Amino acid sequence: MHKCLDLSKLPKAPGLRSINRRNVTPGSPLPPLFPGTASYDPARTVDSTHPATRWKARAFPNFSCSAFMLRAVPKGALLRPEFESRVSQVERSTTEPCRNRKNGYRRLDMSILFMISKKKTNKRAVVRNRIAMRIRAAFELIVARGADAEPRENVEGRDGGKECRPEESASSNIVRKPKKKNDRSVHKSKLASLMSSATPSNLGLVSNPAPTKHLILQDWTYVMSPSLLSYRMPLPDLIQHLRAGLESIRAQSMKLDALWALDKETANLPLAPITSEEPEAGLAADRNRRGRTPRVLRPQ
């Protein structure tokens, strides 16, 4: 018997309420991640001095699983459009951090781009849109309500093993004539068949008290490439995979930031003056060689 997916058991967020995705991506992450899509000119990037503009795409953080592939690229390496309209320039100049806007302290900025392939998902646009909406909702639950997944046995022991049973009514025994299915019901049944999971989930939703604000990197742009399994996968499984992806991307980005900070420090160091005595000794030996008279061979 199926268990109830009770989202009300998750505690209300004390600070963050939602994720803001508007006006937080200053350029396109596709050229640095996929060099064949467009020419990449470091002079047109958001920050032309960023070390990431000289790195290859395979060096950037990435995480892959059966449901999706998540990549990340620094915002300084994003490519600005070649021809930028005045409206977009004004919007960019007036863009403020989320904490400076009205009710901004309750919203967390997240720069994310979805690349949903028809081949890996479905040719219907409604399915692809629902995949993106489902992943966005899962991100909201992770960040705003600390959602996490644990084995169902642990969750049942915590909640007393309550099951979700449908209420039986007197009218349930009445045999009714089946109604003719119209086009809309057929369409809904097709979507339901796509969403049905082949294997039931053995995970349950729980609340993780650990802070989640640090999981979303503010100076990076995420690129999400989901598969059809992310549409069929139960919500606890999807949340578990997304949490693992965010933690992996964060760990890789911290290593890269440390390397880039070291590169900037070494690039800004002044050239040290020559204080070694070896070059001077070499010059003196050269002068002695030049001052010697050449040896003349006498005929025998």
pLDDT digits (tens, 9 = 90+) for 52-67: 998 888 999 999 999 9
Task: Give the pLDDT of residue 138.
Answer: 93
Res 194: pLDDT: 58
Identify the residue whose tokens are 């089946």.
178
Residue 36: partners with Cβ closer than 8 Å, 6 or more residues away: none
Residue 70 has pLDDT above 90, yes or no: yes
Q: What is the pLDDT of residue 201?
A: 72
Buried b (16+ CB within 10 A) or exposed e, 269-287: eeeeeeeeeeeeeeeeeee
One-letter amino acid at 80 equals: R
SS3 220: strand
More confident residue, 110 or 200: 110
Select the more confidently predicted residue: 92 or 184: 184
What are the tokens at 245? 């992806």
Q: Exposed (0-12), middle (13-18) or buried (19+): which is 33, by Cβ within 10 Å? A: buried
Do 43 and 19 meet the contact criterion of CB atoms below 8 Å apart? no
Encoded amino acid at 173, one letter? N
**Average pLDDT rounded to a whole number, residues 120-127:** 92
**Alpha-carbon distance 127 to 118, whole Å?**
10
For residue 154, pLDDT beyond 90: no
Residue 172 CB neighbour total at 10 angstroms: 8
Rounded-to-integer distance, Cα 131 and Cα 136, Å: 9
The confidence band for 204, taking pLDDT boundaries of 50, 70 and 90, is: confident
pLDDT value of position 240? 93
N-terminal to C-terminal alpha carbon distance within the chain = 116
